[in-house]
Structure 1
Amino acid sequence: MFQATRRRLAIWYTAVTAVLLLLFASGVYLYVRSTLIERIDDTLNHVVEIVERSLVIEPVNSDVDQFRINVEASFRNNADTVEDDHIDLEWFSPTGELLWSTLSEPLNIPIHANRTGETVRVIKGEKGTWGDSGLLLRQITQRVQMGRQVLGYLRVSHPWFEVTKPSRQFMLDLAIGIWLMVLSVAASGWFLSGKAMEPVGESYQRLKQFTADASHELRSPIALIQTNVQVALADLEWRETQTTTSLNYRQQLKVVERLTQRLGKLVNDLLFLARQDSGISKDVFSPCPLDALLMEVVEEQQLLATEKEITLTLDLVDPPASETSPELLENWFTLLGKWDELVRLFTNLISNALQYTPPGGRVNVELAHLEGNNRVSRIRYTTSQLQIKVSDTGVGIPAEALPRLFDRFYRVDPARSHSAGNTAKDNTTGSGLGLAIAQAIVEHHQGQIQVESTLGKGTTFFVTLPITLEY
């Protein structure tokens, strides 16, 4: 499918470029051809002007009202000059009779005045000099007169091959150039269409993987719900015939309720990610005191930490002593964001840290205000930002799993949960979307999230969020 689309794109690129090149080449060819014709016409007109000034005009029989052209005196010095320029001259009497010519054979073309230039084809007989194909000439005919008396006609001819020869050569050069350009555009179009199809192919592969993973995740709870409902219905039919306790029936309903809640959470997570990807999520940002938000999240997670015998702490890095502005100190940990999304972000990170930390371990959350051009854990910042570090002393993450840690439905080896002292129940509740949702929330707030981990020693997540957003 993608190869066919790539071919179509390349063909379209090539076809459109070829049409544009043909239009451009046609315009250039017509311009060059018209320029050559104008130059020849200008040359012919210039020759006519020179010859007219060199004509020897004499009175006829001492009659001051009648004049004639002395042909011998007028044209004796013109033959050699015009021959060198490939220009032929013909002089005709007022009646159209050829009196003098530089041509070896008369052209037998009717005389008519034409100052703008015309192209004529001269065809001789079987024994003619030019053969059956004839000869193309560019001609200008000038009527010479004294007052109202017509003294004769001067016709100047120029071979048309002076236009056709360079025109054909130019057309050949254009054709070769266009062909090479079309081949280059075809190769470039194939390359560029491949580049254009790469993100489409990647998106398609991600969509296929996402669909497969989502189908797999949804299939399991749905199958369990169906099984438990069937068992509950069978138990209900059995109870109708015998007197028994409703304990088994309630257990089946509780399992169905728990699976339904899990399924609903999974659907909500998928819907959240779909909205983030499509950009339809409404960006209603408001000032959020991040210190108060983290206190609330840590307080909510404190019960789970106590149950697992894990020490959960929150550290707020105090502003520098040089900072004395009351307004700035009051909003030291305040940023523009969405409260619910930020709560979800840090709830995911802290609950993950608690899940993979064994009893007796420690989970620490640190909030700091960063300013200036500094580097903290490979994150460079040049404006005011808030950095949150969620670190634990848990089992850690293998190095080969770090690049895919934020992929959707990706889960590290389940043995990590067992090594952290979790129950099988904890293992089945994860869908592999928590960190993907965390990354989507961070990117929605124009921030960055990174992770550092050492297997067997612990993991630290770095979240850096700008205090003000850029639009």
Structure 2
Amino acid sequence: MFQATRRRLALWYTAITAVLLLLFASGVYLYVRSTLVERIDDTLNHVVEIVERSLVIETVNSDVDQFRINVEASFRNNAETVEDDHIDLEWFNSTGELLWSTISEPLNIPIHANRTGETVRVVKGENGTWGDSGLLLRQITQRVEMGRQVLGYLRVSHPWFEVTKPSRQFMVDLALGIFFMVLSVAASGWFLSGKAMEPVGESYQRLKQFTADASHELRSPITLIQTNVQVALADLEWREVEATNSSNYRQQLKVVERLTQRLGKLVNDLLFLARQDSGSSKDIFSPCPLDALLIEVVEEQQLLATEKGITLTLELVDPPASETSPELLENWFALVGKWDQLVRLFTNLISNALQYTPTGGRVNVELLRLEASNRVSRIRYSTPQLQIKVSDTGIGIPTEALPRLFDRFYRVDPARTHTPENAATESTTGSGLGLAIAQAIVEHHEGQIQVESTVGEGTTFIVTLPINLES
């Protein structure tokens, strides 16, 4: 599918470029050709002016009102000059009779005055004269007058191949240039269309992976729900509900309830991520005291930490002694955000830390404020930030897994499938969406989330949130 789309894009690039090049080449060709024609017409007009000035005019029988052209005296010197320029001269008397010509055989073309230039075609006929088709000439005919008397007609001809030859060569050059340019554009279009399709292909692959993972995660609880419901229905149909099997029936219903809750949580997580991706979430942010929020989350997770024998602590870094503003001290850890989302963010991070920390380990949550000029962090911020670190002494994360840690449905543990027994009994089994949701919440608050981990020593998640969101 993507290759076909890539080919279509490349073909469109090539076709549009070819059409534009053809239009451009046609315009250039017509301009060059018209320029050549104008140059020949200017040359012919210049020759007419020179020859006209050199004509020797004589009176007829001493009659001052009658004149004639001395043909021999007038054209003797001009013949050699115009021959070098491939120009032919013809002189006709006032009645149109040819009197003198540099052409070996006369042209059978009627005489009419024309100073703008015209193209005529002549061929040699059977009787040895030139006919009406064949050789192309560019001609200008000038009527020579003295007062009201027409002395004759001067016709100047130039071979048309002086235009067609360079025009044809120029057309060949343009065609070759267009051909190689189209080939270059085709190669460039194929390369650029590939580059343009890369993000589409990546998005499509992510969508395929997301769909496959979501289907996998949904299939397991649905299958287990169906199995338990079938068993429960079988008990009702084939047995009487007695005290001996009522506990088994109740256990099956509890499994169904637990699986349904897990399935509902998974659907809610997917819906949350879909809304964040589409930008359709219209959350209203309000001031949130982050210290009070973290105290609440840590208290909620304290029971799980006690059951696992893990020490869970919260550390609030006090403001500097130089800060004396009561209003600022009161709101030292306050930011503008969404309370429910922030609770979900830090609940995910702390619960993950507790889940992957062995008995006897420690999980520490640290909250501090970074001013714009704060030197604790290597990064300088334009506005004050709140930084939260969730550190544990757990099993750690391999270095190669860190780049994909926030991918949806990604788990560091290669055993990503759930057996029916585990899926039905383990409440700690996650869907692989917790960190993806955490990243989405952080980005929604225009913050940053980073992770540092060493296998066998522990992991630290660092969340940095701006106090005031940029408008």
Per the normalisation by structure 2, the TM-score is 0.90
- Which residue matches 2:236? 236
- Which residue matches 2:143? 143
1:148: Cα distance to partner?
Answer: 2.4
Contact persistence 1:58–1:68 (CA under 8 A) = yes
What is the RMSD of the two structures over their aligned residues, measured on CA atoms?
Answer: 2.8
Contact persistence 2:363–2:390 (CA under 8 A) = yes
Alignment of 1:407-418 (within 5 A): 407-413=407-413
Q: Against the structure 1 CA distance between its residues 146 and 341, is the aligned structure 2 distance closer, same or farther, given a 3 Å change threshold? A: farther
Q: Deviations over 1:43-63 (max 9, x none)?
A: 212222222222222332333
Alignment of 1:420-439 (within 5 A): 425-426=425-426, 429-439=429-439
1:147: Cα distance to partner?
Answer: 2.7
Distance 1:181 1:268 in 2: 55
Contact persistence 1:314–1:366 (CA under 8 A) = yes
Q: Is structure 2 residue 85 aligned with structure 1 residue 88?
A: no
- Which residue matches 1:187? 187
- Which residue matches 1:278? 278
- Which residue matches 1:419? none
Q: How many residues align?
A: 466
**What runs of 5+ residues in structure 1 fail to find an aligned partner?**
417-421
Q: Deviations over 1:342-373 (max 9, x none)?
A: 22111111110111112222111122333447
**Helix, strand or coil: the match of 1:123?**
strand
Q: Against the structure 1 CA distance between its residues 133 and 117, is the aligned structure 2 distance closer, same or farther, given a 3 Å change threshold? A: closer
- Which residue matches 1:168? 168
Distance 1:283 1:243 in 2: 51
**What runs of 5+ residues in structure 2 fail to find an aligned partner?**
417-421
Distance 2:326 2:115 in 1: 93
Q: Which amino acid aligns with 1:356?
A: Y
Alignment of 1:313-324 (within 5 A): 313-324=313-324
- Which residue matches 1:37? 37
Alignment of 1:42-121 (within 5 A): 42-121=42-121
Distance 2:397 2:17 in 1: 53
Distance 1:86 1:260 in 2: 100
- Which residue matches 1:295? 295
**Helix, strand or coil: the match of 1:429?**
coil
Q: Against the structure 1 CA distance between its residues 431 and 43, is the aligned structure 2 distance closer, same or farther, given a 3 Å change threshold? A: same
Contact persistence 1:442–1:465 (CA under 8 A) = yes
Q: Is structure 2 residue 445 aligned with structure 1 residue 445?
A: yes
Q: Which amino acid aligns with 1:352?
A: N
- Which residue matches 1:359? 359
Contact persistence 2:319–2:332 (CA under 8 A) = yes
Distance 2:27 2:337 in 1: 59
Distance 1:401 1:307 in 2: 29
Alignment of 1:369-388 (within 5 A): 369-372=369-372, 381=381, 383-388=383-388
Contact persistence 2:141–2:156 (CA under 8 A) = yes
- Which residue matches 2:21? 21
Q: Against the structure 1 CA distance between its residues 182 and 415, is the aligned structure 2 distance closer, same or farther, given a 3 Å change threshold? A: closer
Distance 1:149 1:130 in 2: 31
Q: Deviations over 1:20-65 (max 9, x none)?
A: 1111111111111111111111121222222222222233233333
Q: Which amino acid aligns with 1:227?
A: T
Q: Against the structure 1 CA distance between its residues 212 and 155, is the aligned structure 2 distance closer, same or farther, given a 3 Å change threshold? A: same
Q: Against the structure 1 CA distance between its residues 408 and 136, is the aligned structure 2 distance closer, same or farther, given a 3 Å change threshold? A: same
Deviates more, 1:243-252 or 1:40-49: 243-252
Distance 1:328 1:385 in 2: 14
Per the normalisation by structure 1, the TM-score is 0.90
